[in-house]
Amino acid sequence: MAKVRILPGDDNSNGWSRILPARTPQPALQSEVRADWIVLGAGFAGLAAARRLAEQRPDERIVLLEAQAVGEGASGRNSGFAIDVPHNVGSSLAELEGSQRFIRLSRAAIDYLARAVEAHAIACQWSRRGKYHAAVSPRGKAEILEPVAKELDALRLPYRWLDHEQLVAEIGSPYFHAAVHTPGDVLMNPAALTRGLADSLPDNVTLYERSPVREIDRDNGVRLTLPGGSVAAPKLILATNGFAAQFGFFRGRLLNFAAFASLTRPLTAAERAALGGEDDWGLTPANAIAGVTLRLTQDHRILIRQRFEFGPSLRRSDAHRAAIRRDHQACFAARFPMLPEVTIEHTWTGYVCLSRNHAPGFGQVATNVYAAVCQNAVGVTKGTIAGLLAADLACGQDNPLLADMQSLGEPVALPPRPFLDLGVRAWLGWEVWRARAEK
Ligand SMILES: Cc1cc2nc3c(=O)[nH]c(=O)nc-3n(C[C@H](O)[C@H](O)[C@H](O)COP(=O)(O)OP(=O)(O)OC[C@H]3O[C@@H](n4cnc5c(N)ncnc54)[C@H](O)[C@@H]3O)c2cc1C
């Protein structure tokens, strides 16, 4: 039996869900329940796992448990990019083959999500606008963007190269030196998408929200204990991302980081005109640790995602968030000098889970337990495909993408704490300093 020591405790400031109409979550679990399957965690991974199980086993009962309201975890509070090509790829044959696998998996995830969005008319501003991968400095252009462009050539993937002037014409901000635009990435409101997926689950899935699991017992099948009751089933798919270690899996192998994002108020018509450029775009930074992710949403808000911190406690204070908002306002002012009056309306914290070797926590991890965790900060696509494939694996359903997923390896062991903390903080500090021109 394992007791859960850290429960999800996200702040209630997620701008993506605050700007949506109110939604009534499904009731919390308040009884003793038996099912054929349990899926734990209703982010992209758990939602895909539950939907896929329901498709594969229409006569079996699936229980999906979520500690918070759907859309309030990381899946509803990210930057809203479904990424189809890796941010940065290497040029060796092995790395290129790895990139091809990444692309096959990501595209399958995007197709799966696109079908659900269309079939259930999920209003999440889903748009296949692609994304800009942008460098601030000439050095960032030479050291990151030019190699990325070469690798996209080697992979025979379409892209556009934009110099400063072309980029200003498309996004309005004069801040960037150059960018590579890839056309296959999708932008959306991730809270709206997550909610929409949860609210359109097949009938044989029962979703319990605000239902935190406090204990797991795996002696005879799986039994999960919650404050209001329990669920027992022969099999479990664990989709709790960075919380997996709380259930006894991938201990000492997963790294949790806090990431922070802000949304401005909508621009007025005059401000939108002053910004110029096109509507509805997304930009990722050449250096994801030091740089800033930006979006202009369909309703003319600007998103800023900036700063990573080591976050093993999975908690950040409101005072810290207030300080981050000031940093984000300064980032905004530097990038959008033509919008001096635009203020930030929402700032929130979320957590990403990484492994040292960027491998996912995927596969059968115990007799009755399958995992789809550790999405390495690209969980919209990686979480979706991991959840779907975990369900196929658990059902014994052949899927050619399983080989791609399994070839990604498994998370390697980390050094023990406190050496780990010192190492990670030193690495983050070095990365931010080394790439300071990209901020
Ligand atoms: C600011 C920010 C920006 C990001 N930008 C992007 C982006 O643009 N594109 C992208 O692909 N990724 C992005 N990410 C990463 C992405 O959000 C994650 O990779 C993704 O959400 C992981 O999905 P998941 O389903 O595996 O995990 P999660 O979304 O974390 O879902 C796991 C769920 O398990 C639940 N849970 C945990 N413990 C328990 C328990 N004891 N009982 C019950 N439920 C439990 C949690 O509440 C949670 O909802 C970003 C993340 C952040 C924070």
| Domain 2-76+191-255+357-421: assigned CATH number | 3.50.50.60
What is the chain's mean pLDDT, rounded? Answer: 96
> Which of 222, 241, 353 most suits a substitution to test ligand 1, by most atoms within 8 Å of the C-beta?
241
Share of the chain above pLDDT 70, in %: 98
Q: Given ligand 1 and candidates 231, 240, 353, which is best to mutate, with the most ligand atoms within 8 Å of its CB?
A: 240
What's the token pair of residue 167?
Answer: 């980029």
End-to-end CA distance of the chain: 46
Q: What is the pLDDT confidence band of residue 96, given thresholds at 50, 70 and 90? A: confident
DSSP assignment, residue 189?
-
List Cα–Cα distances, 123 to 166, 197, 378, in angstroms: 31, 11, 22
CA–centroid distance, 331 to ligand 1, in Å, is 25
Phi, psi of 280 (to 5 degrees): 60, 75
State the pairing for strand pair 32-34/229-233: parallel
Q: How far is CA 21 from CA 3, 124, 191, in A?
A: 36, 12, 11
How far, in Å, is the centroid of ligand 1 from the Cα of 242?
8
Distance CA 136, CA 389 (A): 38
Q: Which residue's alpha carbon is at the smallest distance from atom 50 of ligand 1?
A: 78
Question: How many whole angstroms separate alpha carbon 243 and alpha carbon 93?
Answer: 34
| CA dihedral for 241, 243, 248, 254, sign (positive or negative) | positive
Distance CA 95, CA 77 (A): 30
Spatial contact of 295 and 286, defined as CB atoms under 8 Å apart: no
**293: β partners:** 305
Vertex 303 angle, CA 311 and 181, to 5°: 100
pLDDT value at 265 more than 80:
yes
Predicted model pTM: 0.97
Question: How many Å lie between the centroid of ligand 1 and the Cα of residue 96?
Answer: 27
Say if residue 382's pLDDT is above 90.
Answer: yes
Ligand 1 centroid from CA 16, angstroms: 14
d(CA 114, CA 306): 28
Tell me: the pLDDT tens digits for 327-375? 999 999 999 999 999 999 999 999 999 999 999 999 999 999 999 999 9
Per-residue pLDDT tens over the stretch 188-242 = 999 999 999 999 999 999 999 999 999 999 998 999 999 999 999 999 999 999 9
Task: Please state the domain extents for the chain.
Answer: 2-76+191-255+357-421
Which of 87, 243, 321, 384 is the pocket-test mutation for ligand 1 (most atoms within 8 Å of CB)? 243
Query: Do the beta carbons of residue 129 and residue 281 sit within 8 Å?
Result: yes
Residue 1's pLDDT is what?
84
Q: Provide the strand spans (E) within 6-88.
A: 32-34, 37-40, 62-65, 81-82
Axis-axis angle for helices 93-119, 379-395 (nearest 10): 80
Euclidean distance between CA atoms 260 and 307, whole angstroms: 6
